[in-house]
Amino acid sequence: MPVVVLLGAPGAGKGTQAPLLAKRLGVPVLASGDLLRTEVATGSELGREVQDMMRSGELVPDETIVRLFLHRLGRPDAAAGAILDGFPRTRGQAAALDAQLAESGRRVDRALLIDVPIEDLVGRFAGRVICAEGGHVYNLRSNPPRNPGMCDIDGSELVRRADDAEETVRARMVQQLGPLEDVVDHYRGLDNLATVDGTQSIEAVADDLFAALGAELPPAAGR
C-alpha cells in the first residue's frame, strides 16, 4: 500500500514522472493541480475562488487544497496506495496529510524529490504543452508528441497551460520554492526523503525514482 509523495519545483518533471511511476506500482496518480484545474473548468464555486490565484502563480490557501485533496485521497481507488503529485506543497499540508493517513494506520512511505537547478527550470516552461483531455505533459523541445498538436495517449488537442506565461512562471518560482524547502525538510526530518537528479533523460529519472523506492515498500498490485 505505497503512498509516495513526488516533490519538485514547478517544471521539475513531476507531471511527466508521476504516471510512469504509478504504472510501475499499479496505483493511481492524484495531482493537486489537475484537481484544481477541473474545478476551474467546471466553474464550481471553489474553481471561481482559486482561478485568479492559480493564474498569478500563487499557492491556493492550505484549507482549500487540504479539503479537496484529502477528499480525493479518501476515494476507494486510492485505498491501495497512490502517487501524490503537487501535494503537499507547504508544511501545514504535510502535517494535514500525515494526520489523515495516521487515522487509518498509514503513513507516507517515501517522499521523492526530483532535483533540477533553477536556471534549467525557467527554460523548460517555454516548450511545455498539456493535452486538454487528460493533462498529459509534453515539451515541444525535449519530449514532443508523435503528431504535432495531438496527444499520443488520448488524441486530444495540446494546449499551453494558462499559468505558463513567463511572468507567471517567475512568480510561481518565487512563491513556491520556499514552501517546497519546508516540505523537503519535513520529510528529511522523518528520514523519508530520497533525491533524484532530474536533469537526466525521462527514462533515467523514471528508473532512479523507482530504484529510490527501495525494497522496504509494502507490495501493491502490479509490482
Closest contact distance (angstroms) between CB of 172 and ligand AMP is 5
Tell me how far, at minimum, the Cβ of 74 lies from ligand AMP, in Å. 16
Active-site residue flag, 161: yes
Helices (H), the chain: 14-25, 32-42, 45-55, 62-73, 91-103, 118-125, 166-189, 202-212
- CB count within 10 Å of CB 24 equals 17
Q: In 10 A of CB 10, how many CB atoms?
A: 24
- Closest CB to ligand AMP among residues 2, 33: 33
Q: Which of 14, 72, 110, 124 is catalytic?
A: 14
Which 63-122 residues touch ligand AMP, going by CB under 6 A?
65, 86-87, 89, 93
Q: Is 97 exposed, middle or buried (0-12, 13-18, 19+ CB in 10 A)?
A: buried
**Partners of 83 in beta bridges:** 4, 29
For residue 62, the minimal CB distance to ligand AMP (Å) is 7
Nearer to ligand AMP, 97 or 193 (CB): 97
Binding to ligand AMP (CB under 6 A) within 33-62 occurs at: 33, 36, 53-54, 57-60
3-state secondary structure at position 90: coil
Cα 118 to Cα 13, 33, 170, 199, distances in angstroms: 13, 20, 10, 11
Least distance (Å) between residue 164 CB and ligand AMP: 9
Q: Quick one: 66 or 196, whose CB is closer to ligand AMP? A: 66
How far apart, in whole angstroms, are the C-alpha atoms of residue 65 and residue 50?
Answer: 10
Q: Is 89 a catalytic residue?
A: yes
106 is catalytic: no
Which residues of the shown chain bind ligand AMP in the complex (CB under 6 A)? 10, 32-33, 36, 53-54, 57-60, 65, 86-87, 89, 93, 163, 172
